[in-house]
Chain A
Amino acid sequence: MLAYTINRILYLIPVLFILTVVVFSFVHFLPGDVIDVLGGQEGVFDPAVRQALQQEYGLDKPLYVQYLVWLNRVLHGNFGTSLVTRRPIAIEFFQRIPATVYLALVSTAISLMIAVPLGTMAAVKRHTVVDYAAQVLSLVGISIPEFWFALLCVLFFALYLGWLPSSEYYSPLDHFGLSLKHMILPAAALGIRQAAITTRLTRSTMLDEVQKEYVDTARSLGLPERRVIYRYTLRNAMIPTITISGLQLAQLLGGTVVVETIFAWPGVGRTLFEAIISRDFPVIQAGVLILGIAVVVMNLLVDLLYRVLNPRVRLA
Chain B
Amino acid sequence: MHQATQASESELSRRAFLAATGGILTGAAAFGVMAQAGAAQRHPTRGGTLRFATRADISGLDLHRNIIYLVSMPLAAINQGLLDLDARSEPVPGVAAAWEATPDLQRYTFQLRQGVLFHNGREVDAAAVKWNFARMQDAKIAHPLTRSALENVQEVEVVDKYTVRCHLHTPSAAFPADVVYYPCALMAPDSADRADLHPIGCGPFKFAKWDRNNITELVRFENYFETDAEGNSLPYLDALLGRPKREDRVRLTALRTGEADLIDSMAYADAADFATKYAGKFQTWEVPTLATSFILFNLEKGPFTDKQVRLAAAHAIDHEAINQAVFHGRGEVARGFYAPASPWHAQGVEAWPPYDPDKARFLLRQARAVGTEVALQALPTPPYMQQTAELVQAMWAEVGFKVRFNLYDEVALNQNRRERTFHADSTAASYRWDPDGWFSRQILSTAPATRANSGFRNERADRLIAEARRTAERQKRLELYAAIDSLVNAELPLLYLYHLTLLEAGSMRLKGYQPSVSGAFSIRGGGIRTAWME
Hey, which bits of chain A sit against chain B, CB under 8 A?
30-34, 36-46, 48-49, 52-53, 56, 84-87, 92, 95, 151, 154-155, 158-159, 162, 165-169, 261-264, 266, 270-271, 274, 277-279
List the B side residues contacting A262 at CB < 8 Å.
247, 250
Cα(A32)–Cα(B246), bound, Å: 24
Is B230 interfacial (CB 8 A cutoff)? no
Q: A38-B143, A42-B144 are in contact. Are A166 and B410 (CB under 8 A)?
A: no
Instruction: Give the residue of A43, A52, A86, A95 whose beta carbon is less than 8 angstroms from that of B452.
Output: A43
Interface contact B415-A32, CB-CB below 8 Å: yes
Is B254 interfacial (CB 8 A cutoff)? yes
The 6 closest A-B pairs by CB, nearest first: A32-B411, A266-B214, A45-B452, A32-B415, A45-B448, A85-B60
Is B145 interfacial (CB 8 A cutoff)? yes
Q: A42-B145, A85-B60 are in contact. Are A37 and B410 (CB under 8 A)?
A: yes
Is B197 interfacial (CB 8 A cutoff)? yes
Interface contact B145-A85, CB-CB below 8 Å: no
From residue 91 to 119 of chain B, which have CB atoms closer than 8 A to chain A?
Answer: none
Interface contact A42-B253, CB-CB below 8 Å: no
* A46: nearest chain-B partner, CB-CB: B448
Q: A166-B254, A169-B214 are in contact. Are A53 and B410 (CB under 8 A)?
A: no
List the B side residues contacting A33 at CB < 8 Å.
411
Interface contact A56-B140, CB-CB below 8 Å: yes
Is B211 interfacial (CB 8 A cutoff)? yes
Instruction: Give the residue of A30, A40, A52, A165 whose beta carbon is less than 8 angstroms from that of B145.
Output: A40
List the B side residues contacting A274 at CB < 8 Å.
213
At the interface with chain A, which of B61-69, B269-277, B525-533? B61-69
19 contacts between A and B (CB under 8 A): A36-B410, A36-B415, A39-B143, A42-B441, A42-B449, A43-B417, A45-B452, A52-B139, A52-B140, A84-B59, A84-B60, A86-B62, A87-B197, A165-B257, A166-B259, A167-B259, A168-B214, A262-B250, A278-B59
Is B212 interfacial (CB 8 A cutoff)? yes
Is B409 interfacial (CB 8 A cutoff)? yes
Interface contact B212-A92, CB-CB below 8 Å: yes
Q: How many A-B residue pairs have CB under 8 A?
A: 134
Is B477 interfacial (CB 8 A cutoff)? no
From residue 438 to 452 of chain B, which have CB atoms closer than 8 A to chain A?
Answer: 441, 448-449, 451-452
List the B side residues contacting A264 at CB < 8 Å.
213-214, 243-246, 250, 254
Interface contact A167-B196, CB-CB below 8 Å: no
Q: A84-B59, A159-B257, A168-B259 are in contact. Are A39 and B144 (CB under 8 A)?
A: yes
Cα(A37)–Cα(B412), bound, Å: 10
Which of A31, A33, A52 has most chain B Cβ within 10 Å? A31
List the A side residues contacting B243 at CB < 8 Å.
168, 264
Is B148 interfacial (CB 8 A cutoff)? yes
Which range contains the number of B residues in contact with the other chain?
35 or more
Instruction: Give the residue of A37, A43, A53, A167 whose beta carbon is less than 8 angstroms from that of B139.
Output: A53
Interface contact A266-B213, CB-CB below 8 Å: yes
* B451: nearest chain-A partner, CB-CB: A45
Is B418 interfacial (CB 8 A cutoff)? yes
Cα(A95)–Cα(B211), bound, Å: 9
Q: How far is the CB of B184 from chain A (nearest CB, A)?
A: 14
Is B167 interfacial (CB 8 A cutoff)? no
Interface contact B411-A277, CB-CB below 8 Å: yes
Is B130 interfacial (CB 8 A cutoff)? no
Instruction: Give the residue of A30, A49, A159, A270 whose beta carbon is less than 8 angstroms from that of B253.
Output: A159
Instruction: Give the residue of A165, A166, A278 whose beta carbon is less than 8 angstroms from that of B411.
Output: A278
List the B side residues contacting A45 at CB < 8 Å.
418, 448-449, 451-452
List the A side residues contacting B211 at CB < 8 Å.
95, 266
Mask of B382-419 contacts with A, CB within 8 angstroms, 1/0? 00000000000000000000000000011110110110
Mask of B411-429 contacts with A, CB within 8 angstroms, 1/0? 1101101100000000101
* B450: nearest chain-A partner, CB-CB: A45
Is B135 interfacial (CB 8 A cutoff)? no
Q: How far is the CB of A309 from chain B (nearest CB, A)?
A: 39
Q: How far is the CB of A164 from chain B (nearest CB, A)?
A: 9
Cα(A33)–Cα(B411), bound, Å: 7
List the B side residues contacting A270 at CB < 8 Å.
213
List the B side residues contacting A87 at CB < 8 Å.
60-61, 196-197
Is B256 interfacial (CB 8 A cutoff)? yes
Cα(A85)–Cα(B200), bound, Å: 16
List the A side residues contacting B145 at CB < 8 Å.
40, 42
List the B side residues contacting A92 at CB < 8 Å.
212
* A157: nearest chain-B partner, CB-CB: B257
Instruction: Give the residue of A32, A36, A53, A167 whose beta carbon is less than 8 angstroms from that of B140.
Output: A53
Cα(A56)–Cα(B246), bound, Å: 31
* B60: nearest chain-A partner, CB-CB: A85
* B59: nearest chain-A partner, CB-CB: A84
From residue 130 to 148 of chain B, which have CB atoms closer than 8 A to chain A?
Answer: 139-140, 143-145, 148
List the A side residues contacting B196 at CB < 8 Å.
85-87
Interface contact B253-A36, CB-CB below 8 Å: no
Q: How far is the CB of B269 from chain A (nearest CB, A)?
A: 15
Cα(A165)–Cα(B254), bound, Å: 8
Cα(A53)–Cα(B144), bound, Å: 11
List the A side residues contacting B139 at CB < 8 Å.
46, 48-49, 52-53
Q: How far is the CB of B195 from chain A (nearest CB, A)?
A: 9
Taking A43-B417, A264-B213 as known contacts, 11 extra A-B pairs with beta carbons closer than 8 A to each other, sorted by chain A number, are: A38-B143, A39-B143, A40-B410, A43-B449, A159-B253, A166-B253, A167-B253, A168-B259, A263-B250, A264-B250, A264-B254
Interface contact A279-B411, CB-CB below 8 Å: yes
List the B side residues contacting A53 at CB < 8 Å.
139-140
Cα(A153)–Cα(B62), bound, Å: 38
Q: How far is the CB of A210 from chain B (nearest CB, A)?
A: 46
* B410: nearest chain-A partner, CB-CB: A37
Instruction: Give the residue of B212, B214, B257, B451 whose beta carbon is less than 8 angstroms from that of A166.
Output: B257
From residue 21 to 60 of chain B, which have CB atoms closer than 8 A to chain A?
Answer: 59-60
Instruction: Give the residue of B60, B409, B417, B452 whose beta carbon is less than 8 angstroms from that of A277.
Output: B409
Cα(A75)–Cα(B196), bound, Å: 25
Which of A42, A56, A165, A279 has most chain B Cβ within 10 Å? A42
List the A side residues contacting B418 at CB < 8 Å.
36, 43, 45
List the A side residues contacting B412 at CB < 8 Å.
30-32
Q: How far is the CB of B192 from chain A (nearest CB, A)?
A: 12
* A266: nearest chain-B partner, CB-CB: B214
* A85: nearest chain-B partner, CB-CB: B60
Interface contact A261-B212, CB-CB below 8 Å: no
List the A side residues contacting B415 at CB < 8 Å.
31-32, 36
Cα(A167)–Cα(B214), bound, Å: 10
Interface contact A167-B410, CB-CB below 8 Å: no
Q: How far is the CB of B15 from chain A (nearest CB, A)?
A: 35
